[in-house]
Amino acid sequence: MSSIDIFPRLDRLGLELGAEERQIVASVRDFAQRRVAPGAAERDRTGAFPVEVLRECVELGLHAMKVPAESGGAGADDVTYALVMEAVAEACASTAVVLASSNLTAKVLDAHATAAQRERWLRPYAEGRLGPASFALTEPSCGTDASALRTRATLDGDAWVLDGEKMWITSATHAGLHLVFARTDEAGPRSAEGISAFVVEAGTPGLVVGREEDKMGQRASGTAAVSFDGCRVPAAALVGERGRGYAVALSALGAGRVGIAALSIGLAEAALAEGLAYGTQRRAFGQALTEFQNTQFVLADSRTELDAAWLLTLRAARLLGRGDRASAETSMAKLFASETCARVVDRMVQLHGGYGYSREYAVERIYRDARVTRIYEGTSEAQRIVIAREMLRA
């Protein structure tokens, strides 16, 4: 969908964007198609991190969208953030997920950092002096059950000493700072107790970033394990209250889910555009594929489900923007958008016939890029757990 096409669609989804938001969304869509999309296939082939593209994203403030302007960020709202994620993901999912994890970390720092921490880490990050940021929660032995994490942080004089290993950390290979969750105290009755959050700067002795994972899709997002071997950080690197780090992590997950819901929609919109273009020009039995009723039904189902995903995602973003509790709504958005993405992308590969299975066609990459949206930022099963829990709350 071009920049021009998006606004009538958004209007019909009931989204009344202000002039400033329209301007941001239009310029990001233009930037994404002009500067991000052209190298996406090559980055997928080589796995090269989008260093230059990210530099331009940083100039536009896309790495710190919800950080207020006084701290160097873009000061955007949740709806604008979702629209930006969607636009970038249409162009390149690897770049989008790097921005998603960076924005997640920036949001946590904005919400929980002290004034001194803001000056030391948030401002330089927001001003583009630190590169992307990573959000390091998952470990080799636990992902969904992240509260069972084993990385430890021990207080030694005026420093915390970290030991342990993180896994699947987006942007780890290029991040200038990592937000790391570690156990500082024995677990209480609930294993989430006793976890704390720390800022660890790239280059800190004892911080070792592993080899980049050889992934199915989103291959340019710098995913790697990160290990800590006697890694000393100053006492001032503790973010939020000691022992309350799990709550710190969860505080940003709603926004994270909306970001991945939007990313999923972006991938699906890109696939649908590819399918429409291909189906219109490819002929079989003397007619274009789009003249078969079966193709029309596939397109109609895809458009309908995608609009539903948009509506759920925009609702969740609006609720977050109002400061409402939105656990169920953000999970519904992420669940439905990522599952819809899978269905739409699969249908568009099918519409391409054998060509959909070839690396020469964008749908093949989109198909691989889409698969992980049902896994990271909480699996589809984890989202269902949240939704049901909210339904059953007394």
Ligand X SMILES: Cc1cc2nc3c(=O)[nH]c(=O)nc-3n(C[C@H](O)[C@H](O)[C@H](O)COP(=O)(O)OP(=O)(O)OC[C@H]3O[C@@H](n4cnc5c(N)ncnc54)[C@H](O)[C@@H]3O)c2cc1C
Catalytic residues, by residue number, are 377
133: nearest Cα among 258, 27, 256: 256
Q: Does 216 bind ligand X (CB under 6 A)?
A: no
How many alpha carbons lie under 13 Å from residue 253 in its C-beta half-sphere?
21
**Contact map string, positions 143 to 162, toward ligand X, x by CB under 6 A:** xxx-----------------
**Under 8 Å CB-to-CB from 283, ≥6 apart: which residues?**
289
Alpha-carbon distance of 262 to 259, in angstroms, equals 5
Q: Does 389 bind ligand X (CB under 6 A)?
A: no
Q: Does 228 bind ligand X (CB under 6 A)?
A: no
Q: Which of residues 79-138 bind ligand X (CB under 6 A)?
A: 101, 134-138
Q: Which of residues 314-333 bind ligand X (CB under 6 A)?
A: none
Q: How many CB atoms lie within 10 A of CB 388?
A: 12
- Following DSSP, what letter does each residue of 281-294 receive, concatenated? H-EETTEEGGGSHH
Nearer CB in complex with ligand X: 283/389: 389
- Report the residue from 31, 81, 121, 168 that binds ligand X according to the rule CB under 6 A: 168
Q: What type of residue is 161?
A: V
Nearer CB in complex with ligand X: 178/352: 178
**Distance from CA of residue 263 to its chain's centroid?**
7
Q: Does 382 bind ligand X (CB under 6 A)?
A: yes
**Contact map string, positions 44 to 83, toward ligand X, x by CB under 6 A:** ----------------------------------------
- Taking CB atoms, the residue at the shortest distance from ligand X is 143
H helices, E strands: number in the chain: 14, 10
Q: How, if at all, do strands 133-136 and 177-183 pair?
A: parallel
Q: How, if at all, do strands 283-284 and 133-136 pair?
A: unpaired
Contact 267, 369 (CB under 8 A): yes
**Distance from CA of residue 72 to its chain's centroid?**
21
Nearer CB in complex with ligand X: 93/271: 93
- Report the residue from 94, 95, 103, 170 that binds ligand X according to the rule CB under 6 A: 170
Nearer CB in complex with ligand X: 105/340: 105
Q: How far is the CB of 119 from ligand X (least distance, A)?
A: 25
- Report the residue from 105, 184, 223, 340 that binds ligand X according to the rule CB under 6 A: 223
Q: How, if at all, do strands 177-183 and 195-201 pair?
A: antiparallel
Nearer CB in complex with ligand X: 94/290: 94
Sites of contact with ligand X (CB under 6 A): 101, 134-138, 142-145, 168-170, 215, 218, 223, 372, 375-376, 378-379, 381-382, 385
